[in-house]
Structure 1
Amino acid sequence: MQLYNTLSAKEREALIEEAGLERLTISFYQYARIGNPSIFRNHLFIHWNELDVLGRIYVAHEGINAQLSVPAVNFNAFKTHLDSITFLENVRLNIAIEQDNKSFLKLKVKVREKIVADGLNDDSFDVTNKGIHVDAVKFNELIEDSDTILVDMRNHYESEIGHFKNAITPDVDTFRDSLDIIEKDLADHKEDKKLVMYCTGGIRCEKASAYYKHKGFKNVYQLEGGIIEYTRQVKNLNLENKFLGKNFVFDHRRGERITDDVIANCHQCGNPCDNHVNCANEACHLLFIQCDACAEAMNNCCSLECKEIHELPYEEQKKLRKGKVVSNKIFKKGRSEVLKYKK
């Protein structure tokens, strides 16, 4: 019985092109008590592999966090399977604003300690005592209120290319870094202000809102469904869109265009640009913002050093990479000193 992905990204890409089927990029999450995450993980892999589901799914004792793509022709079967799982019946599915058949090229279902790395001790507070969920209409009203503090719960590389007007955008690399920083910065407003939070699809705000209520914030709100659902509601209800730029997403697309505003800059030349790329040197793979002109001049690399390595024969590149670990550099997410115009 196959329980792991066996195809390379290139092999899967070729199969997707050959099939010629439209695929839907979807994300969802659900906090729930899962007794045996490993068994649940295998159950999902077996069923979803049969439906040609691809994506990155995290399963833990506290629930599931899924980002995936599924052939449109299999969507109903996929939804039926979700509904057969008690705690996933009628779970809200965030369907991507911009579709890409190659948003995911492998099916990875992983068991983790938590579905979002928050660094919190869940036993120290009531994680079910969450903030008030608001839709796009109420959210727009709240953020125009002078008594509201709007906070972006995402990381610096996400908010750099897009965020709501007048939002506080913490300069952090990880979600866990932001929690204490925000509490400290807003300590004087725990009772007199409305704390309104948002993130990509809502999952980070689920835990953060309960944490901030535990820390003494009296009026805590969170955007239901995050930026993805907000964008959908704004379009369907013909509301004013108060988001600027792109919504960063964690798949091969790296971003969804929400408005035409370009609020970021190329990290290499400083010109307006909001296209995230990974350095083409596989020993680096740094995530950064690069315009088309710099991509051509630098052969899709972040530095001259990486460009020189990337232009070597592939076997020589492999020899240079052997035995080296670069994950810390990868996750600096645009902090590298080689980038002249980094945020």
Structure 2
Amino acid sequence: MQLYNTLSAKEREALIEEAGKDRLTISFYKYAHIGNPQILRNHLFLAWNDMVVLGRIYVAHEGINAQLSVPAENFGIFKEHLDSISFLENVRLNIAIEQDNKSFLKLKVKVRKKIVADGLNDDTFDVTNKGVHVGAEQFNELIEDENTVLVDMRNHYESEIGHFKNAITPDVDTFRDSLDIIEQNLAEHKEDKKLVMYCTGGIRCEKASAYYKHKGFKNVYQLEGGIIEYTRQVREKNLENKFLGKNFVFDHRRGERISDEVIAHCHQCGKPCDTHVNCANEACHLLFIQCEECAQEMNNCCSVECKEVHALPYEEQKRLRKGKGASNKIFKKGRSPVLKYKK
């Protein structure tokens, strides 16, 4: 019984190209009480591997968080399988605005302590006492209200390339960092303001809304389905789009264009740009924003040092990496001092 990947990303990429068939990039989440996450993990892997589903899925006692690439021709049986699992029946599926057949190249289903690393002790508050979910139309009305405080629950590198106008965008590296900062900054408005939150697909706001209600905020709202669902509704209902720039996504695309505005800058030369890349030096792999001109000049690297390493024969690069852990810069998301125009 095969419970893990047997193909490399390159082998899978070749098979996708050879098949020449469309795939759908989908995400969903669901908070639920799961008695044995490992059993569910194995069940999902076996079923989805047969459907040639690829992606990154986290399963925990508190629920499931999934980002997937599904062959378009298999979407029907994939949905039937989801509906056969009681707590996932009719779960909302966020379908990507921009499709890419290679958004994911492996199927990774992992058991985690939590489906989002929030650093919270869930036993201290009622996680089911959530804020009010609102669709795109009501969201647009709320954020124009002078009594509303709009908060982006994502990290700095996400909001840097795109966010709603007039949103508070905390300068944080992780979701858990933002929770206390937002509470402290908005402490005086717990009763007189409407706290409206949004994130990529809704999962971060789901827990945060319950947390903030526990902390004394009286009027808490969250954007249903996040930026992904908002964009779908705006286009379907011909509503005014109040999102500026790109929506950062956690797959090989790294971003979806929502509006024509480019609100970020190349971290190396400062010109308008909102294209995230990873440094080509595998010992670095830093996530940063790089324009086409700098990519060419720097050979897709973040620094001269990395450019020099990347130019070495591959075996020499492997020798230099041998015995060393992953660079901490991987987790800095554009914070590296080598970037002159970082946020």
- 2:214 maps to which residue? 214
Q: Aligned to 2:222, what secondary structure does the other structure show? A: strand
In 2, Cα distance between equivalents of 1:150 and 1:41: 36
Paired AA for residue 251 in structure 1: D
Q: Is the 8 A contact 2:5 2:106 kept in 1?
A: yes
In 2, Cα distance between equivalents of 1:6 and 1:102: 18
- 2:303 maps to which residue? 303
In 2, Cα distance between equivalents of 1:140 and 1:257: 19
Alignment map for 1:197-276 (pairs within 5 Å): 197-276=197-276
> Within the alignment, does 1:43 sit opposite 2:43 as a pair?
yes
Unaligned runs of 5+ in 2: none
- 2:287 maps to which residue? 287
TM-score, normalised with respect to structure 2: 1.00
In 2, Cα distance between equivalents of 1:123 and 1:243: 35
Alignment map for 1:88-237 (pairs within 5 Å): 88-237=88-237
- 1:11 maps to which residue? 11
> Within the alignment, does 1:33 sit opposite 2:55 as a pair?
no
Q: CA deviation at 1:159?
A: 0.1
In 1, Cα distance between equivalents of 2:186 and 2:54: 40
Aligned positions, number = 343
Paired AA for residue 105 in structure 1: L
Measured on the aligned residues, the alpha-carbon RMSD in Å equals 0.4
In 2, Cα distance between equivalents of 1:7 and 1:203: 30
In 2, Cα distance between equivalents of 1:130 and 1:4: 36
Identity of aligned residues (%): 86
Q: Aligned to 2:170, what secondary structure does the other structure show? A: coil
- 1:24 maps to which residue? 24
Q: Aligned to 2:337, what secondary structure does the other structure show? A: coil
Map Cα deviations across residues 252-275 of structure 1 (whole Å, 9 max, x no partner).
000000001000000000000000
Q: Aligned to 1:213, what secondary structure does the other structure show? A: helix
Q: CA deviation at 1:326?
A: 2.3
Map Cα deviations across residues 24-44 of structure 1 (whole Å, 9 max, x no partner).
000000000000000100000
Q: Is the 8 A contact 2:38 2:111 kept in 1?
A: yes
Map Cα deviations across residues 17-60 of structure 1 (whole Å, 9 max, x no partner).
00011000000000000000001000000000000000000000
In 1, Cα distance between equivalents of 2:140 and 2:335: 33
Alignment map for 1:323-334 (pairs within 5 Å): 323-334=323-334
Paired AA for residue 215 in structure 1: K
Unaligned runs of 5+ in 1: none
TM-score, normalised with respect to structure 1: 1.00
Paired AA for residue 34 in structure 2: I
List, as ranges, runs of 4+ consecutive aligned residues in structure 1 with deviation greater than 3 Å.
Answer: none
Q: Is the 8 A contact 2:266 2:290 kept in 1?
A: yes
Paired AA for residue 311 in structure 2: E
